[in-house]
Amino acid sequence: MEITFVRVTDNTARFYLSGAWPSFANTVRREMISGVPTLAIEDIRIYDNTSVLFDEMLAHRLGLIPLRTDLSTHVPKDQCSCEGAGCPACTATYTLSVEGPRMVTSRDLIPQDSAAGPVDENIPIVKLNEDQKVVIEAKAHLATGKAHAKWQATTACGYKNYPVISIDEHCDGCGMCVEECPRGVLGTEGGKAVVLPGHLEDCSLCKLCERACLSASIGTEYSIRVNPDPTRFIFTVEGDGSLPVLGVLSTAVENIRKKATDLETILSDVSGRETK
């Protein structure tokens, strides 16, 4: 099994997973979405709220603000030595105090630990009019997307099979498949259809070209066939900025490895007991 990166930035990545099977590719996707912990606001104390939003709405909006997360310094509450009471190792504290008239944004959310501040400072929270005020204390802790979507480190995470396009010798270059392809993958050259250089990965496997070829030909034979490679996948991942996307992938892979090792241990325990 092999992972090859095509493009990586802090918040996006595109990579190939080769030599894998569909269930494993889906496991990687699911683990990146719901198995990687991030910080999100969970507990809120509202001292004053005369804005147009109910307290619950305000709390909901604050919970959805992505926060910079350092997995080497924060631990989940249930694994912390404070036993869930809340200490700097498991809890990040914020204050927000704004008087109108003006827009309250994530910039106004002041973290006690500057390394755990909001990812983006311009996320609108609520617009205050004259004489309106919001005073809040908030606490964030680590959890995963399994508990709530606000703890998801990825905003988009998906894959598709690598396309395999074959064009046989019966192709007469009529160009019907080229006209039909919505992704501009195909062209003609030397009286035959061809995959345009650098466009193969744009193919969505919709098979419209096959249908066009069939309607253009006499009989029931396709000259073009499009199939998914069952062992190769193109992943596209977008993060919310709380963690670098590469960190999301490596944590997800590490989680899968740990789960597999745990399962192996359990199975060997069970089989050991059975053979006794």
Query: Which of ligand SF4, Zn ion, none binds 136 (CB below 5-8 Å, type-dependent)?
Result: none
Judged by beta carbon distances under 5 to 8 A according to partner kind, the member of Zn ion, ligand SF4, none in contact with residue 193 is: ligand SF4
Residues that bind ligand SF4 (CB under 6 A): 165, 167, 171-177, 180-181, 183, 185-186, 193, 203-209, 212-213, 216, 223-224, 226
Q: Using the rule CB under 5 A, give the single segment among 80-88, 191-199, 203-211, 228-236 that binds Zn ion.
A: 80-88
Torsion angle of the four alpha carbons 17, 23, 203, 209, in this order, in degrees rounded to the nearest 10: 150
Q: Residue 89's Cα: distance from chain center in Å?
A: 26
Rounded distance between C-alpha atoms, residue 25 and residue 29, angstroms: 6
Q: Which is nearer to ligand SF4, 215 or 275 (CB)?
A: 215
Least Å from the CB of residue 225 to ligand SF4: 9
Assess contact for 137 and 43: CB atoms under 8 A: no
CA–CA separation, 253 and 30 (whole Å):
11
Residues 90 to 109: which contact Zn ion by CB under 5 A? Answer: 90
Closer residue to ligand SF4 (CB): 176 or 249:
176
Distance CA 40, CA 139 (A): 8
Does the footprint of Zn ion cover residue 80 (CB under 5 A)?
A: yes
Tell me 142's DSSP state: E
Q: Which does 199 bind (CB under 5 to 8 A by kind): Zn ion, ligand SF4, none?
A: none
Q: How far apart are CA 38 and CA 79, in angstroms?
A: 15
Measured from the CB of residue 74, what is the shortest distance to Zn ion in angstroms? 9
d(CA 213, CA 40): 52
d(CA 12, CA 241): 9
Stretch that binds Zn ion, among 89-97, 145-153, 203-211, 268-276 (CB under 5 A): 89-97
Nearest distance, CB of residue 79 and Zn ion, angstroms: 9
